[in-house]
Structure 1
Amino acid sequence: MTLVICIASVVLLLGALAYLRAPLWLSSSMILAGAAYGVLIQGASPIYLYVLVTLAIILNVKPLRQIILTGPLFGIFRKITPPMSQTEQEAIDAGTVWWDRELFSGKPNFAELHNYPEPKLNAEEEAFLNGPTETLCQMLNDWDITQNRKDLSPEVWDYIKQNGFLGMIIKKEYGGKQFSNYAHARVVTKIATRSGSAAVTVMVPNSLGPGELLQHYGTTEQKNYYLPRLAKGEEIPCFALTSPEAGSDAGGIPDYGVVTRGSYTDKRTGQRHENVLGIRLSWEKRYITLGPVATILGMAFKLYDPDHLIGTKDDVGITCALIPTDHDGVHIGRRHYPGTSTFQNGPNWGKDVFIPMDWVIGGQDYVGQGWKMLVECLSVGRCISLPAMSVASGKLASYTTGAYARIRSQFGLSIGRFEGVDEALGRIGGYTYQMDAAQRLALTALDMGEKPSVLSGILKYHNTERMRKTINDAMDVHAGKAVCIGPRNYLALGYQAIPVAITVEGANILTRSMIIFGQGAIRCHPFVLKELRAAMNKDLAAFDAAVIGHIGFAISNAVRALWLGLTGARLVSSPKDGPTAQNYRDIVRFSSAFAFLADLGMGTLGGSLKFKEKLSARLGDMLSNLYIATAALKKFHDDGEPKEDRPLVRWAVETALYDCQEAMNGFLANHPNRFIAWCARRIAFPCGMSMKAPADRVGTRIARTLMEPSVARDRLVKYMYRPNDEHDSVGVLEFALKAVIETEGLESKLRRAQREGQLKQLTACARLQEALALGLINDDEFAAVTRARRLKREVIMVDDFDANLANPDPDAIRRSIV
């Protein structure tokens, strides 16, 4: 019994030290002290002490440890580690890690999260959002843009150029707005709630493209010439990366240039240049947004120097250049037709086109650095553009669907009162809260000077997927109102454009299955990148330090996951009291379990995990949902923890953690080593899968929030364009909603009078007149009900056309028979 007690004591002590992440020397000392006590005082066999002393010496004496333990591991690690391509290396090195590193730690520091500044607009940005952006939205007619013009109107194009919408990211010294990333995103969000085509037109020049690249890498001459022209809209930029044979595999682009000497005419000055150092380019690009109307073409291509005119390498690498679109040999102007999203998009190509070397972005010094330049800028743009459009879709869906569900009635009851619709409304509001929170936190990182490459992948995938779910639910609630497209349909065009957001800036399938965890595991893990670099540099000492730290980290997370699973994380301290306290504790638990499973996956599958895309995707889902949960808590914290928002934050966090748990379950259910998976499940889920999806009543409270004017609803849809016009298909909703709410009691009274036989007329209109004549309602009530019914009809009616599906009937709203 004494021996059992001693062993149990040592095990408990070891567990406590691992949980607290005690350093190796302290853990060794404590365990040896416990073993000595067992031998000297309790009479245990000294063999245990000898074994532990030997292990302690091996682990703590570095030269000995390197000979016996880490040296052999180093040799194995170097053999099994797959080689890393240059593009992979540059992608990993690009950008920065931020809050995502804390989530990978298994022990996130919430004080750090709460100390991040709350994103805010300054006075100039607020004025731009409420002034020119509001005016632009008033000018936009998405039906006219997508169905008639297939482009923005000339007036809209001029307004965008003249008011600096294309220069929001350009510094003021060059004539730009120099807005924060947060302001940039909010402008895009507001425009996108009115017109997706207009939003894309504005966001692309402010995202990955010539403006961004020039500011970071351009020569002084390039900046001074192009940036003022871009800011004023005198130049329309596009950036050509995607080729028919290379989409997501940008490193495999076939477009190429050869360093040579040649002659060209500069169309800007009319000057002819003879026998200058330059590049002869051949390319074919597609899916290039703004390409058909661009005046300046950013180009990514592989550069070769077979005659060694600029260096010693034949293959110089991916290079980026700026080419005026009127340059000889450039073919541009034709258009793709990406569904109902009729923003300008098209192919361009050229063969043996000579450009001078000083058209390379950054000049000759930056040849071969194009991929690094692109991935660094992409980590910024992917946090802004498509996530902002996703947020816009969520806000529009929340606002319109909540109002429509209250206005539209069946069986004498608002359809939002039916539990099936109630469930959809809960998801719409909850996903919108998640999307907005996730982007807000990433924008905070950008405005702090970070370039969060992993978070940009999370936002790209998860915001656009939540956009898809949100709009699908909104379409279901609106039913035929959303199916029949026309000038009054505010959902269908966005629904039909969903595939654009899913596929551009990296296909979602690839982003989820390869990029999020592939980058996250290397960049965010505290030891993996150190191990890889040590192996590449043949540095045993660095590898030794990293691998010992990694082993301790993995053991600690296993112990923490087990203990937090056994206790339900109820003993963990929380930075908050009240309704969100347990949410913080659960995040700590799942962070530890995620870190443990990530190490398990990398340790048992090694380099093959790179090709186990389904497992890698689930590990990425774990990290992503932990990020979304913490972002929702951060948003709630920044907003002052309003009581009205509690259902939204609860739904957002509990859904994210439930999805995280499901990803863990899927990972363990499909791990190829079933014994290891069985053991890991007992550590991650010792009491079973205890995390539940949000209760139905939480979704119902969200639905009720969306179905009436409230501070919580207004906060959720803040920064969407809300037209104040009864004749606008979106603007009429607020008028109708308030009118319907004000007359619900009267309508109930009229139905009761009909059931009791007091009202005998056949039509609703006639019965209303009858009620007035009988004195059941007064003149003011008659007028209120009449107005509410008129507005309600304006909301629920859909467009009809002539036999050729042209010329919608403007009088359909007033054509009332019954």
Structure 2
Amino acid sequence: MLIALLVTLLAILVLGFIRAPLIVWTIGAVAAAGAASYQCGSYIALGVVLALGVLLNVKPIRRAILTGPIFGIFRKITPAMSQTEQEAINAGTVWWDRDLFSGAPDYKRLHDIPAPKLSAEEQAFYDGPTEELCKLIDDWKINHELKDLPPEVWSFIKEKGFLGMIIKKQYGGLEFSNFAHAKIVTKIATRGGSAAVSVMVPNSLGPGELLQHYGTEEQKNYYLPRLAIGKEIPCFALTSPQAGSDAGGIPDFGIVCRGSYTDPRTGQRHENVLGMRVTWEKRYITLGPIATILGLAFKLYDPDHLLGDKEEVGITCALIPTEHEGVQIGRRHYPSGGVFQNGPNWGKDVFIPMDWIIGGQAYVGQGWRMLVECLSVGRCISLPAMSVASGQLASFTTGAYARIRDQFGLSIGRFEGVDEAIARIGGFTYQMDAAQRLALSGLDMGEKPSVLSGILKYHNTERMRKTINDAMDVHGGKGVCVGPRNYLARGYQAIPVAITVEGANILTRSMIIYGQGAIRCHPYVLREMRAAMNKDLKDFDDAFVGHLGFVGSNMIRSLVLGLTGSLIASSPRSGPTAGYYRDITRLSSAFALLSDMAMFSLGGSLKFKEKLSARLGDMLSNLYIATASLKRFEDDGAPQEDLPLVRWAVEQALYDCQQAMDGFLANLPSRPLAFVLSKVIFPLGRRFQQPSDHTGTQIARLLMEPSASRARLTQNVFVPKSESDSVGVLDLALKAVIETEALEGKLRKAQRDGKLKAIRAKDRLDEAVAAGLLTTAERDAVVRARQLKREVVMVDDFDQELQSHDAGVGVREAV
């Protein structure tokens, strides 16, 4: 009997682990019941199992007795979704995120995704015009003197087509890939945030993208060629003072009516045409103060039924020339961290014709759908790219600075506290770049991953915040004193902008990521909800039975993988990263189980349990970041010298996923359920740890000297060749300091031994040459290294009015 029980238990575990179909479970159960009945001489158990088998496998009976009544209850308790919620849920596509929700990610599918790369034309643009634009950017001058990009920079941006990267060639645009778009923005952002914002906004969510997807042929043929060459400067006005994150609650409105207007483009007067009178007040509109074409979102009403039966038509998007009578534009906001053009605009009872609606009259009321469908693309590119730029610049500058700057006769990067901060900078930068790269691959394959766009927006900007904070800590006073030499201050000041725009991070984490992910990525939930909405019992029956099997399988898989330390899971790679794939599979099964248990125990109220929803979103996000980091490692050719970076990135993501699970279980309202789930998911305790100190030190060492790993991690940083530039001098100083480190050590020892007695440093060098400790060439190398080091560690000083800063090296003699 004991052997039979063990065999039965083993069979249950195996069938659950491999996700056997219902019919296989039924056959197994019948066989076990038959054997037991034969041994006992009673066939009651066999009869019960056979009855259950018929109930579960014969669909008409199952629907009549089991799933039919459940369907009725499900329809009553399923919370209704507003139209805006439905459109947000339906927007975009699901992609690799679906695999992570499945509990059994298909790693072959992951690695079959082509690695993103630039075409020859894109590479030439990246190496040519993008490099030239970076050379023209003087971020100090832009932000503190001109409060705008210089005219020559604006001219260059327009002339070279930077504003038309997403516009198709047939309309005069560059038609670059999403990967190229992101890399170009990243490189510009490492040189100047204001310039990067000015370039990225017309290529992100706005008139250009909306026109290409929904515009009439007349609108496309007129506007797109003009947008491509900067003849028109676009902006898109969505946010209102009373409606920020709640974009669906905008108070701006239009009333359908007949009226007259003069077209500012042609000067032609039009009388008694069908249109609308629009009243709006918008703010935070990037490029708004200088825009020539205003994309405007408002709610449209038709009280006189000039369009149809509906009085409330819905959110509508229109294009309005800013010279049009009644449009108020031109005033500016003053964003922290940059003085890119940003400001309010407004209008009262401004009449516009129906053909100014994007897509024409056929698209009235379709504005929200248009926006959410396009948003997933832009949110994968703009702010994530600027976050990557911040991480790469922090890695490049902080690694070099920590090697160049010394205290107590030792490079500050050798101190473990500083080493720990540098490791985080490098590790988070690797995560950010990997996460965006994978998403960009999906975009260029035609995907519009709405859930992943939320993950990128939140987690990249939060990691940007962490990397810049750590970089500021390492730089100390160098980062605190604002001036032309300070390459960190503007990024530090700009953090609130990235955290706030395109959906505030608090909202994105607590509502959007999991709110969309649970429904879109789950293999069964959306089918069940649609079946309930469509009153389709057959579809609900299939989805519900599949869902039950999915829950049971994930419970078994979580327990087995927890007990075995993931060792029985498969891995697509051998070697040092193999275990990470197995651990991700384990946590993916656990995440899927927790997700279902949250929906089961909380039902529709989960929508309002934002802290729990945020933790579920953190689980999904960190699983994505871990797999993206592994994908990047493989795409780079699995270089062994990058192992510390990929180890740190994956181990931190797995640890963060575990911590989110721990926090979720600690706060799940049903305490008995939380106890059971804890024992199933973590039967041997919480085993995932943060990256080791040794791994962190390896990363710090990689960033503190020229290496292939450092070059890969910081590949998009614009590095001027001039030593008078605060970033350009770093590489020169780093190489000079490394080359003279042994000589400096010899000099310090000679001074301690009393062989060098002069007070002034330069006099001690002369003593060293006279004593034969240094050759003349070695002394010159030390002098050169010290000059470069001085320029690296110096901060700017100004006159009393803080207007004129010092001119650089040589202003005063070093001690």
> Given the two structures, how large is their TM-score scaled by the length of structure 2?
0.99
Q: Which residue of 1 aligns with 2:59?
A: 62
Q: Which residue of 2 aligns with 1:345?
A: 342
Q: Is the 8 A contact 2:668 2:674 kept in 1?
A: yes
**CA–CA separation in structure 1 for the residues paired with 2:765 and 2:568:** 63
Q: Is the 8 A contact 2:354 2:360 kept in 1?
A: yes
Matched, 1:520 2:517: yes
Corresponding pairs, count:
815
Q: Is the 8 A contact 1:322 1:361 kept in 2?
A: yes
Match of 2:374 among 354, 372, 377: 377
- The 5-angstrom pairing of residues 656-805 of structure 1 reads 656-805=653-802
- The 5-angstrom pairing of residues 366-765 of structure 1 reads 366-765=363-762
Q: Is the 8 A contact 1:10 1:35 kept in 2?
A: no
Q: Aligned AA for 1:88?
A: E
Deviation at 1:80, TM superposition (A): 1.3
Matched, 1:362 2:359: yes
> 1:777–1:726: structure 2 CA closer, same or farther, 3 Å change rule?
same
**CA–CA separation in structure 2 for the residues paired with 1:737 and 1:396:** 15
**CA–CA separation in structure 2 for the residues paired with 1:293 and 1:431:** 36
Q: Which residue of 2 aligns with 1:191?
A: 188
Q: Which residue of 2 aligns with 1:9?
A: 7
SS, match of residue 135 in structure 1 = helix
**CA–CA separation in structure 1 for the residues paired with 2:446 and 2:94:** 11
SS, match of residue 287 in structure 1 = strand
Deviation at 1:793, TM superposition (A): 0.1
Deviation at 1:763, TM superposition (A): 2.2
Query: Which deviations, in whole Å up to 9, do the C-alpha atoms of 1:342-398 show, x marking residues without a partner?
Result: 100000000100000000000001111111100011000000000000000000000
**CA–CA separation in structure 2 for the residues paired with 1:162 and 1:709:** 36
Q: Which residue of 2 aligns with 1:201?
A: 198
Q: Which residue of 1 aligns with 2:37?
A: 39
> Given the two structures, how large is their TM-score scaled by the length of structure 1?
0.99
Deviation at 1:811, TM superposition (A): 4.8
Q: Is the 8 A contact 2:469 2:492 kept in 1?
A: yes
**CA–CA separation in structure 2 for the residues paired with 1:117 and 1:205:** 28
Deviation at 1:67, TM superposition (A): 2.2
For the aligned residues, what is the CA RMSD?
A: 0.9
SS, match of residue 686 in structure 1 = coil
Matched, 1:277 2:271: no
Match of 2:245 among 236, 239, 248: 248
> 1:423–1:44: structure 2 CA closer, same or farther, 3 Å change rule?
farther
Query: Which deviations, in whole Å up to 9, do the C-alpha atoms of 1:183-233 show, x marking residues without a partner?
Result: 000000000000000000000000000000000000000000000000010
Match of 1:136 among 117, 133, 137: 133
Q: Aligned AA for 2:505?
A: N
**CA–CA separation in structure 2 for the residues paired with 1:199 and 1:61:** 61
SS, match of residue 592 in structure 1 = helix
**CA–CA separation in structure 1 for the residues paired with 2:501 and 2:383:** 9
Q: Is the 8 A contact 1:387 1:464 kept in 2?
A: yes
SS, match of residue 272 in structure 2 = strand
Q: Which residue of 2 aligns with 1:313?
A: 310
**CA–CA separation in structure 2 for the residues paired with 1:86 and 1:763:** 76
**CA–CA separation in structure 2 for the residues paired with 1:743 and 1:524:** 56
Matched, 1:30 2:28: yes
- The 5-angstrom pairing of residues 80-229 of structure 1 reads 80-229=77-226
Q: Aligned AA for 1:732?
A: V
**CA–CA separation in structure 1 for the residues paired with 2:97 and 2:635:** 19
Deviation at 1:79, TM superposition (A): 1.4
Deviation at 1:817, TM superposition (A): 4.3
Q: Is the 8 A contact 1:800 1:812 kept in 2?
A: no
- Stretch deviating more after TM superposition (534-543 or 211-220): 534-543
Q: Is the 8 A contact 2:337 2:492 kept in 1?
A: no
Query: Which deviations, in whole Å up to 9, do the C-alpha atoms of 1:169-191 show, x marking residues without a partner?
Result: 00000000000000000000000
**CA–CA separation in structure 2 for the residues paired with 1:260 and 1:546:** 48
Query: Which deviations, in whole Å up to 9, do the C-alpha atoms of 1:578-631 show, x marking residues without a partner?
Result: 110001110110100100111011111111000000000000000000000000
**CA–CA separation in structure 2 for the residues paired with 1:129 and 1:815:** 39
Deviation at 1:769, TM superposition (A): 1.6
- The 5-angstrom pairing of residues 229-244 of structure 1 reads 229-244=226-241
- Stretch deviating more after TM superposition (57-66 or 517-526): 57-66
Q: Which runs of 4+ in 1 moved over 6 A?
A: none
Q: Which residue of 2 aligns with 1:21?
A: 19
Deviation at 1:14, TM superposition (A): 2.2
**CA–CA separation in structure 1 for the residues paired with 2:390 and 2:350:** 42
Q: Is the 8 A contact 1:794 1:813 kept in 2?
A: no
**CA–CA separation in structure 2 for the residues paired with 1:90 and 1:722:** 44
> 1:663–1:811: structure 2 CA closer, same or farther, 3 Å change rule?
closer
Deviation at 1:59, TM superposition (A): 1.0
Query: Which ranges in structure 2 are unaligned for 5 or more consecutive residues?
Result: none
Q: Is the 8 A contact 2:13 2:560 kept in 1?
A: no
SS, match of residue 661 in structure 2 = helix
Q: Aligned AA for 1:273?
A: H
> 1:490–1:811: structure 2 CA closer, same or farther, 3 Å change rule?
closer
SS, match of residue 486 in structure 2 = coil
Q: Which residue of 2 aligns with 1:289?
A: 286
**CA–CA separation in structure 2 for the residues paired with 1:272 and 1:201:** 34
Q: Aligned AA for 1:361?
A: I
Q: Is the 8 A contact 1:13 1:31 kept in 2?
A: no
Q: Aligned AA for 1:430?
A: G
Q: Aligned AA for 2:596?
A: D
Q: Aligned AA for 2:724?
A: H
Deviation at 1:8, TM superposition (A): 4.0
Q: Is the 8 A contact 1:280 1:354 kept in 2?
A: yes
Deviation at 1:15, TM superposition (A): 2.3
**CA–CA separation in structure 1 for the residues paired with 2:797 and 2:809:** 8
Deviation at 1:308, TM superposition (A): 1.2
> 1:758–1:786: structure 2 CA closer, same or farther, 3 Å change rule?
same
SS, match of residue 762 in structure 1 = coil
Q: Aligned AA for 2:295?
A: G
